[in-house]
Amino acid sequence: MASVIYPTTNFTATEQLCITHGEGIYVYDDTGKEYIEGLAGLWCTSLGYSNTEVVEAITDQLNRLPFQHTFGGKTHAPVMQLAETLKAMVPVEDAYFFFGNSGSDANDSHYKMLRYYFNAIGKPEKRKIITRERGYHGVTVAAGSLTSLPANLAHFDAPLEALSILRADAPHYYTGRQGNETEAQFVERILQNLEDQILTEDPDTIAAMIVEPITGASGVIVPPEGYYEGLQALLRKHDILIWADEVICGFGRTGADFGCTTMGIKPDLMTFAKQLSSAYFPISASVIPGWMYKAMVDQTNEVGVFGHGYTYSGHPAACAAALKTLEIYERDKIFDHAAEVGAYMQEQLREIFTDHPLVGEVRGKGLIAALELVSNKTTGATIAGGKGGALAVKACQDAGLILRAVAGNALAFCPPLIITKPEVDEMLKRTKTGVDTAYEALKSEGLLSS
């Protein structure tokens, strides 16, 4: 075993699959076996594998200017061009961009900039951040504290109180409903819970609420109709900023440019990473409105610098990768393609799996989806210890499909945006084989209830 500390891995189960190369939606292991990469790596390889245009853009930039930092007044053409390209795309007023290396550090940067901003305008007490149960926003100290998944919090002693983190209800009707509650009643109840919490905490102490338009690692939760409309009205009423974590949803994943577009959100702040460069080079972006940026200018002048930044902020090769990726999205109408093929994938998932005895719910939008695996289809009871998800992932892998179980027993789909309808058919054929195999194994182990 190599001396690697593997991320998000059980240290007793490392190095089980070694991937050597990829092409299109497929990857290959060191035995030559082919797999459909059904999660686009980690929700990120939007253009699939071995896109020569992006590789050449990176290579050309490395040959021209392999590195240039952006500290202390220095800059370069790719970072300026990327900011202006994104500015024309995002639904944030007079947007400014801080570039980093991952979604985690982008959310950390937002956390710090919110404090910096409210200090600048004389409201230092306005520093609490609302996140949601089952939210995922990264793994650095601040972003990890905004994350609500048990595995990401256990044993790390996240400083939630010191960081002033509050938690609101997850907007998942299937697992969160009470009794015979309708979706509308569910939404009304959890929004009332949120307002009660805001009033208890004092709105003047709360800076922002962070939301994923559609969640990823928490199980691909698509909030019910009316949730975001009510949520935004509530936050605006109490002068709380809306912070959209678009790390997974951004750039075509939901069948639109951003998850905010799909879900009807008008954000104040946005976080990007992953599909910004199709994951070909690490890059992230923290997006803030112009009025927030301008309020911080005098403070930076007073101190002498804006005392935050990474060595690789705005790395020229990363910016080149992002610029080429965005060019391809526009030129090849990738978002339109994702909308069309995504609608087909959603339709086929429901047709194949709605009546499957192991599946309690099929959910998703565009080219992101999940199957909620349950021990009892009538009650929706979960499968203990995430055993259903683990078995299904292993069976799908054996069938030549890489998926991921999230939030225990949710089998997640997030294929490259370039996937075609015939490739969707093949992906779901392999999924059916895996889910059927998992169902028989769970049944034989007595883990399903009637």
pLDDT in tens, 36-65: 999 999 999 999 999 999 999 999 999 999
pLDDT tens-digit map of 274-297: 999 999 999 999 999 999 999 999
Q: Is 133 strand, coil or helix?
A: coil
Q: Do 352 and 287 belong together in one domain?
A: no
Q: Determine the pLDDT at residue 418.
A: 98
Residue 160 has pLDDT above 80, yes or no: yes
pLDDT for res 385: 92
Kindly state the helix (H) or strand (E) to which residue 402 belongs, with its residue range.
strand 401-402
Predicted local confidence at residue 307, as pLDDT: 97
- Do residue 99 and residue 225 come from a single domain? yes
Q: Does the pLDDT of residue 450 top 80, yes or no?
A: no
Angle CA 367–83–51, to nearest 5: 45
Instruction: For the chain, give the percent of residues with pLDDT over 90.
Output: 99
Can you tell me the distance from the alpha carbon of 280 to that of 55, in angstroms, rounded to the nearest whole number? 8
Are residues 289 and 162 part of one domain?
A: yes
125 inside domain:
yes
Range of the domain at 207: 54-331
| Residues 222 and 252 both lie in one domain | yes
pLDDT tens track for 81-135:
999 999 999 999 999 999 999 999 999 999 999 999 999 999 999 999 999 999 9
Instruction: Please tell me the distance from the alpha carbon of residue 307 to that of residue 68, in angstroms, as a whole number.
Output: 18
| 44 is a domain residue | no
**pLDDT of res. 76:** 98
Whether residue 151 is found in the same domain as residue 168? yes
Q: Which residues of 248-265 are buried (b: 16+ CB within 10 A; e: fewer)?
A: bbbbbbbbbbbbbbbbeb
Indicate whether 20 belongs to any domain. no
Q: Identify whether residues 272 and 162 lie together within a single domain.
A: yes
User: In one letter, which amino acid is 303?
Assistant: V
pLDDT (0 to 100) of residue 199: 98
Q: What is the DSSP string of 307-325?
A: ----TTTT-HHHHHHHHHH
pLDDT digits (tens, 9 = 90+) for 168-200: 999 999 999 999 999 999 999 999 999 999 999
Confidence of residue 444 (pLDDT cuts 50, 70, 90): very high
**Claim to verify: residue 289 and residue 347 sit in the same structural domain:** no
**Judgement on whether residues 247 and 186 belong to the same structural domain of the protein:** yes
User: Is 18 domain-assigned?
Assistant: no
Q: How much is the pLDDT for 175?
A: 95
Strand ranges across the sheet with 359-365: 359-365, 368-373, 410-413, 404-406
Closest among 303, 301, 253 to 278, alpha carbons compared: 253
Q: How much is the pLDDT for 449?
A: 85
Task: List the CATH number of the domain containing 436.
Answer: 3.90.1150.10
- The CB density around residue 2, as the number of other CB atoms within 10 Å, is 6
Same domain as 219, residue 191? yes
The answer as to whether 4 is a domain residue is no
> pLDDT tens, 347-358?
999 999 999 999
Residue that terminates a domain, selected from 261, 296, 331: 331
Instruction: Tell me: do 324 and 366 sit in the same domain.
Output: no
**Averaged pLDDT of the chain:** 97
What string of DSSP letters covers 224-270? PTTHHHHHHHHHHHTT-EEEEE-TTTTTTTTSSS-HHHHHT---SEE
Among 331, 351, 382, the domain-final residue is 331
Six-digit token string for 151: 């595995």
Whether residue 3 is contained in a domain is answered as: no
Does 284 lie in the same domain as 345?
no
Let me know: does 356 contact 435? Beta carbons within 8 Å. yes
The reply to whether 5 falls in a domain is no
**191 and 152, same structural domain?**
yes
Q: Output the CA torsion sign for 208, 214, 220, 221.
A: positive
Give tens-digit pLDDT for 376-431. Answer: 999 999 999 999 999 999 999 999 999 999 999 999 999 999 999 999 999 999 99
Residue 443 has pLDDT above 80, yes or no: yes
Last residue of a domain, one of 331, 354, 380: 331
Give the confidence band of 229 by pLDDT, cuts at 50, 70, 90.
very high
DSSP string, 62-86: HHH-S-----TT---HHHHHHHHHH
Number of domains in the chain: 2
Bridge partners (DSSP) listed for residue 241: 208
> Is there a domain that residue 270 lies in?
yes
Output the domain CATH number for residue 290: 3.40.640.10
In the 8-state DSSP scheme, what is residue 167?
E
C-alpha torsion 67→71→72→74, nearest 10: 40
Distance CA 48, CA 22 (A): 8
